[in-house]
Amino acid sequence: MASVTAQETRPRLPVNRPNTVAVGTIVWLASELMFFAALFAMYFTMRSIDVEGFHEHAQILDVPFAALICVILVLSSVTCQLGVFAAERGDRKKLEMWFIITFIMGAIFIGGQVKEYMALVEEGLTLSSSSYGSVFFLTTGFHGLHVTGGLIAFLFVLGRLYVSKRFTHEQATTAIVVSYYWHFVDVVWIALFTTIYILQ
């Protein structure tokens, strides 16, 4: 009887469960990865059908400008991660600073993409002008929408930090989850930039 009682009163060891928000975000990003994989499949399929047309249209792309905004977006991933390090240390001020810088860099990227679209339209390349135009605007456009979604997420995080009186664990978790998403869209853009602007 005594041995049974001892077993029943033995303290339970804490269970280390993964953060459900982080796991959910990773699963969601996996589905987003499948979405972009479909866009890449569309690009390569259309290019294999119209090799000459794709090569001809790719000549009007402003590769140096696209490379510049690509570098800005990649660097924004670095500043985003610095914000995460600050969040993990509980440093609210540095988190705000790095996330504001990341937001500005992301906004510059979107502004650059709009500028590029306007220049391409002036050159006669539109969504309906050719198969290349359709593929180009769909792939880069959907990515631009994802970047815009990330910018909205940064505003949400910064807004919560601004109105709250103290920095909480939930706010740090939200910042980390937003960083997952931001790193994801940056990696996708590197793949898109390589495919569309470098390989052509």
Evaluate whether 80 touches 87 at the Cβ level (below 8 Å): no
Sign of torsion over alpha carbons 121, 124, 125, 126: positive
> Strand, coil or helix: what is 47?
helix
DSSP sequence for 61-93? S-HHHHHHHHHHHHHHHHHHHHHHHHHHHT-HH
Evaluate whether 83 touches 102 at the Cβ level (below 8 Å): yes
Residue 177 lies in a domain: yes
What's the pLDDT band for 11 if we cut at 50, 70, 90? low
Residue 4 lies in a domain: no
Number of domains in the chain: 1
What's the CATH code of the domain at 174? 1.20.120.80
What pTM did the predictor assign?
0.85
pLDDT of 30 reads 86
pLDDT of 87 reads 93
Residue 119 lies in a domain: yes
Residue 81 lies in a domain: yes
Q: 81: domain range?
A: 19-199
Residue 1 lies in a domain: no
List, for residues 62-115, the tens digit of each pLDDT value. Answer: 999 999 999 999 999 999 999 999 999 999 999 999 999 999 999 999 999 999
Residue 173 lies in a domain: yes
CA distances for 88 relative to 81, 168, 189, angstroms: 11, 11, 27
List, for residues 16-47, the tens digit of each pLDDT value. Answer: 566 676 678 778 888 888 999 999 999 999 99
